[in-house]
Structures are given as structure tokens and as C-alpha cells.
Chains A and B, each alone.
Chain A
Amino acid sequence: MVIWILRRLGYMVITLFLVSLLTFFIIELAPGSAVDSEISRLRAMGSTVSTQQVEALEEQYGVNDPWIVKYGKWAGGLVRGDFGMSFAYRQPVADVIWSRFGLSVALALGATIVAWGIAIPVGVYSATHRYTLADNIITLIQFIGVAIPEFLLALAVLVGAVQFGGIDVGGLFSNEYRNAPWSMDKLLDMLAHLWMPLLVISVASTAWLTRVMRANLFDVLGQQYVQTARAKGVPERKVIWKHAVRNALHPLVMTLGTTLSVIIGGEAVVSIIFNLPTTGQALLQTLIVKDTYVAATLLVMLSALLIIGNLVGDLLLMWIDPRARVLD
């Protein structure tokens, strides 16, 4: 078991390395360089930039270095925890990243828990009450939930909150707590700001997982061992929850990687609209202002989150399904 986890961690490092290589390759395809956009930004602000300054900047950032040298510098910094300076945020990237990463992990975890917490019971109800009115309504809601792009839902919720609740839900804290030291009130204020985006992020995954759960459980309920359990007089509740649901769960766990990918993407978009300081929001913002090196770093961090999530998913699968344990 320990060896298995160690081997998986080894794979993880290799995958992350390849991810960073691919990411860096993509951003290097961009015409011009980060220095170019910085220079044009300085010029747009009215300051004159001399040729010497351009050369000094290019030297400092190694614009004319070969590809692999640039990658080496960037990746070397990444490994040492030195992420460089962000043009967009005017501060070291490391400062931008860590506080954001915490919130991203919390939101991803929260959204996954919400999605499973709703999808499992609702999916079970749907599968055991197929084609009833309630099931049809659930199916309809699912389709709408999957079909609405997250940014639209976030916008609708935001406008609704302002219009009908008269509350400002953007940001992480209300004005009075923004610079206040941590206290119970500040924590409650933060949670009051977080629950709405959290729900918006989990809507798509919840809707999709409910469908998966419904289909899985329906398949399992048709199997003979369920019939046997019923025949020998096991109470229906027990048949469903103990015999059937346990076997219908593991496709849900196996698709954790996909779910997490959707949640991380959704979190980025929703954070932009709710103005939440998460890694995804920083990624999209740096992309919009073409701060590509920082964007690459952030993308690698989000991938790390996804890869760790996949490992957790596999461990979870081994926990609920003994068959998964014998593989290694």
C-alpha cells in the first residue's frame, strides 16, 4: 500500500513535469513576449522607454534565450518556490498564489462535497421512483442545470441578490471586515460571501452526477443479487442503501477526475464574476492582461490540484471497492 502510494506520487511528479512542459510550450507560442506588453503598457501610460531600457528588460527576463533555457529558468524558479514578479499584480507571484490556492482548494473540496451530497440522495430517489412526477421534474432541472453556462448562472444569482436581497455578494469580505484581524464575525462574514458562489460552482456537477447516479443505480437494481436480497426478505431500505447504492457509487468515484476538472474550471469563471481571490480567477485575469508566465505557473498549480484530486479519488475507490485493492 505504502509502495503503491509512493509509486503514484512518483508518477504525479512526472505528470506535473510534463504538464509544465506542455503549458510552457503553449505560452511560448504567443507572439511577442511579456516584456513587449509591459513596454507597450508603460508607453501607453505616457512614460518614455529607451532602447537601453528595452534591452535591459529583455536581458533581465531572458527574452532572446533559447526555449529550453527559458523553460529551465521558469521551472527552476517553480521548484524553488520563486515564482517571479507579476506584471499584472505588481507584486511577487508567490504572494498572489498561496492565499489564493487555499481558497481554491476549499472551494473545490466544498463544491465536490455539495455535488455528491445532493447527487447521491436525489439520484437514489430518482432511480427508485422512475418516471414519476418528481423524477421527471428532477430530470428537467438536471438538464437545465447542465445547459446553463456557469457564468450566466453566476450573473443571474448576483443580480438577483442585489435586486431582491439588497445585499452585495461580490468579494470575499464586507467592507468593514476587509482589513480587520481574524475573528468569529469575520469568519461568518466570509462564509456569508462564499455559500452563493459555492452553490453556483457545484450546480453543473450536481446535475450531471445525479444523472450518473440515477443511471447506475437503476442498472444495479436490475441485477440478480438485488433480487436475491429482496427474495430473502431484506427490508427494501436496506436492499437499496446497503446492497445497491454501494455498488452504484464507484462510477461516481471513478469520475472524480472529470468532476474536479469541471469544478476547477467553473470555480475560475464564477470567481471572476463574484470577484473572489482564487487561483482560477488570477489565472483568467493574468490571461486577459497577457501576463503569460504567471498564467503558466497558475495553470500548473491548478493541474497539481487536479492530479492530487485524482490520487484521492483512487484511494477512495480502494476504500469503497475491495476489487480496486488487488490491482497492485
Chain B
Amino acid sequence: MSTAQVTGAGLDEGTDTGAEAEVVVADSKVGEVSQTQLMYRRFKQSKLAIVSLIVLGLLYLSALLAPFLSPNDPVQVDQAYKYAEPSSLTWSSGPAMCTVKQEIDPVNISTTYVKDCSNPIPLQFFGHGFDYKVLGLIPTDRHLIVAPEGDAKLLLFGADGQGRDIFSRTLYGGRVSLTIGLIGVAIATILGSVMGTWSGYAGGKTDTLIQRFIEVIMSIPTLPLWATMAAVLSPDMSVTKRYFLMTLILALVAWAGLARQVRGKVMSYAKSDYVSAAKSAGAKSPRIIVTHLLPNSASHIVAVSMLAIPAAIIAETTLSFLGIGMVEPAISWGVLLKDAQRIDVLQQYPWVLLPAVFVIVAVASFQLLGDGVRDAVDPYS
């Protein structure tokens, strides 16, 4: 049957033999582009989505190479740099920074920093700093840019209340904040696809039951539900355990909306002629689901999931900011922004808010990328 169809297609091109038909196929650009290629072409047209993809790539790279890019150890507490402002950069036969001296007023115990740019400290590229392992394998202490040892600390974003380098902490924070939402949504996508397909394909009582359950989850406001689940976690569990449980919590709520979308798609495809044809040809349900329904819904699922990532990132940041998501000693963007909670701190040391720029850039990029992907997979927009 199938071979007959192929030669049939060749005959339409006005050729006699299969070999010649292949030549025509190679030359012809019409009707020979796969759906994936079409989507890719369409995606490329969206400049904003491409830019977002590049920005996200850089963000993830910076998280991966955080130790190399960090001038200072992110967890090193240093009373000499309590709330130190960002280092002023100058030029002295190469990039350099001004020296900063801490002065403590003994009367009202306030610290001030005196800046001196007359004798700048040259910065070293690939200089020595704290020890780490490249990608967790090769031990080294080289960093992209550091201040020479002993003299000073290069604080690009200033320091927090315990004298820790905010720039290094922001890079390390990306490791948690950028992955927690991504993995959470990935789990939610799998769960949502399975439940959505099951619900939409099975129909009847199963469908009603699953839909009722989804309705219950969606009847609880999302952020308060996340907060409640996160607050249940024991405050003294390890960072890794908390990380995985937070991922799971994000997924356990986010799947509901995805499952609804998948169910809708599956139901509309399940009624289509080709599924009826497959059924009448004797195909079993698993085969219909795996070869007909899932590939057709796949692009839609990806698009919907992409748009769920920004919400998950914002959720992690917000919960950590409130102190019920990730907590110290973990480093995430939300944990860093917790320092910005007090208005007086924020007014005096506005640089504690700098990690927010990373949050906004990451979320906006995911949003734009998600939009680009959705437009690319939807032929009717």
C-alpha cells in the first residue's frame, strides 16, 4: 500500500520512474519542507525571540561558569566590607579600581567608606582567587577578573550586610533561580501531558474525575497555594533537598493548567478523520496516542510550557523573598532580594536591588521567547 502511494506522488510530478522522481524531489522546494523546518523559518523571523534566546544563553552560561566569572567567594563573610558600595572602576594602563577604606565612627558605630582614586589598583585578568572546580571536575583558582590578592576586593555590585560580594552571589543565584523554574515546568509538562492525554482520550468518567481534580487545584489562587506548600517544608532541611522539593512544588501546581490545554488539543485530534481511519485499521489506543495524538500536540505543548516558565521563575523569587522558598545558606535571586526587604536598607544601599535586574531580564526573555515559539508553531496566527 505505502509504496504505491509514494510512486503515486511521483506521478503527480509528471515523471515515470522512482529514480527520476527522487531527482525532482531534490530540486523542488515546494511541498518538501518538513513542519519542523517551517516552524524554524517562522521562528527566525521573530527578531525579539532570537535576541531573547541569545540573552538566555548568556545567562545560563554565566550560571554555569559562575565560579570562573566571580571575583570573590560568594559565601565569604567580611566585616571590612559591610554594605560596601560598588567599586569605582578607572583606567591606569589597564582597567583598575579605586581603593576604598572603611572608617568606623566610634560614637554612633556607623561605617563609612572613603574612596581614593589617586592610587588605583590594577585589575588582573585570569588572576588567582578562591579555589573551585571547573564544571565540578578540574580544580583551579583562576578567575576572569580579580583584584590582586590581599589588597582589595573587586565588588562590581557592592556588598551586602555581611560584606559578601553581590555580583558573585547573583551569578551563583542564577544557578538556582534559572533552573528551578525550568525543571519545575519540565516535570509539570510531563505530568500535564500524561494526564491531559489520558483525560482527553479516555473521556467519560475518567475525564470527569481528572477534570474535577484540575478544577479543584485551579480554584485555589496559584501563588498562595505555592506559598502554603512551600511553608510546609521543614526549615532545617539541606539545600539540595529543599531545591528538589521546591521544584516538585512548582510542578505539582503548574501541571493542572497544562493538562487542560493538552486535553483540549487531544480531544479535537481524537475526533479527526485520520484517527478514525487508524482505529478502523485496527490500531490500538497506545499506538494512536503515541503516533498520532502526541506528535500533533507536541508543538502546542512546548509553546504552552515555554510560557509557564516565567511564572515559575517569578514564583521561586517571590517565595524566597518572603523567606518560605529557598532560604539561606542557599543562594538564589529571591534570597538575595530578601536583603532589599527593609526600606531603610534599600534607601541607604540601593545596590542590594541589583539582582532584580537579572530576574527581570530572565523573565522578559522567557516571555519573548515563549511568544516567538507560540507564533512559530501556530500556523493560523
Contact = CB atoms under 8 A, between A and B. Distances in A.
Interface of A: 15-16, 18-19, 22-23, 26-27, 29-32, 143-144, 146-152, 155, 158-159, 162-163, 257, 260-262, 264-266, 268-269, 272, 280, 283-284, 287-288, 290, 292, 295-296, 299, 302-303, 305-307, 310
A111 B337 CA distance: 26
B19 interface: no
Considering residues A18, A149, A151, A280, which has the most beta carbons from chain B within 10 angstroms of its beta carbon?
A: A149
B321 A151 contact: yes
Given A155-B353, A292-B232, A146 B220 contact: no
A299 B234 contact: no
A26 B221 contact: no
Interface string B214-242: 01111111111101110110100000000
Given A15-B215, A147-B310, A284 B227 contact: yes
B356 interface: yes
Interface of B: 212, 215-225, 227-229, 231-232, 234, 310, 314, 317-318, 321-324, 337, 340-341, 343, 346-347, 353, 356, 359-360, 363-364, 367-368
B87 to A, nearest CB: 24
A261 B216 contact: no
Nearest to A28: B232
B355 to A, nearest CB: 10
B324 A149 contact: no
A264 B314 CA distance: 15
Contacts of A155: 340-341, 343, 346, 353
A284 B367 CA distance: 27
Contacts of A144: 360, 364
30 contacts: A22-B220, A23-B220, A30-B234, A31-B234, A143-B367, A143-B368, A146-B310, A146-B363, A147-B364, A148-B363, A149-B318, A149-B363, A151-B322, A152-B359, A159-B343, A159-B346, A261-B218, A261-B221, A261-B222, A264-B224, A283-B224, A283-B228, A284-B227, A284-B322, A287-B227, A288-B323, A299-B224, A299-B225, A303-B220, A306-B220
Contacts of A296: 228
B360 A295 contact: no
Nearest to A108: B221
B365 to A, nearest CB: 8
Given A31-B234, A302-B220, 14 more contacts: A18-B216, A22-B216, A146-B363, A147-B310, A147-B360, A147-B363, A148-B360, A149-B359, A149-B363, A152-B356, A265-B224, A269-B223, A284-B227, A288-B231
Nearest to B212: A18
Contacts of A147: 310, 360, 363-364, 367
Given A163-B347, A302-B220, A30 B232 contact: yes
Contacts of A260: 221
SS class, residues of chain B in contact with chain A: helix
SS class, residues of chain A in contact with chain B: helix
B324 A288 contact: yes
A96 B318 CA distance: 24
Contacts of A151: 318, 321-322, 337
Given A143-B368, A162-B343, A284-B227, A265 B221 contact: yes
Contacts of A163: 347
Given A144-B360, A149-B317, A15 B216 contact: yes
B314 to A, nearest CB: 5
Contacts of A18: 212, 216
A290 B231 contact: yes
A27 B223 contact: no
Given A159-B347, A299-B220, A27 B353 contact: no
Contacts of B343: 155, 158-159, 162
Contacts of A307: 219
Contact of A295 (B231, B337, B353, B363): B231
B260 to A, nearest CB: 11
Nearest to B237: A31
Nearest to A304: B219
B229 A143 contact: no
B232 A269 contact: no
A310 to B, nearest CB: 8
B322 A19 contact: no
A221 to B, nearest CB: 14
A144 B359 CA distance: 11
A143 B364 contact: yes
A29 to B, nearest CB: 5
Contacts of B353: 152, 155
Contacts of A15: 215-216, 219
A143 B221 CA distance: 23
A266 B322 contact: no
A23 B228 contact: yes
A219 to B, nearest CB: 9
Contacts of B231: 30, 287-288, 290, 292, 295
B221 A303 contact: yes
Contacts of A149: 314, 317-318, 321, 359-360, 363
A163 B368 CA distance: 33
Nearest to B252: A26
B227 A19 contact: no
A268 B221 CA distance: 10
A303 B224 CA distance: 9
Contacts of A292: 231-232
Contacts of A268: 221, 223-224, 227
A215 B317 CA distance: 29
Given A147-B360, A257-B218, A307-B219, A302 B314 contact: no
A175 B224 CA distance: 30
6 tightest A-B CB contacts, nearest first: A265-B223, A147-B364, A287-B231, A264-B221, A147-B363, A30-B232
Nearest to A211: B371
Contacts of B227: 268, 283-284, 287
A283 B227 CA distance: 9
Nearest to A168: B343
Given A155-B340, A288-B324, A26 B229 contact: yes
Contacts of B356: 152
B313 to A, nearest CB: 9
Given A143-B367, A295-B228, A302-B224, A272 B216 contact: no
Contacts of A30: 231-232, 234
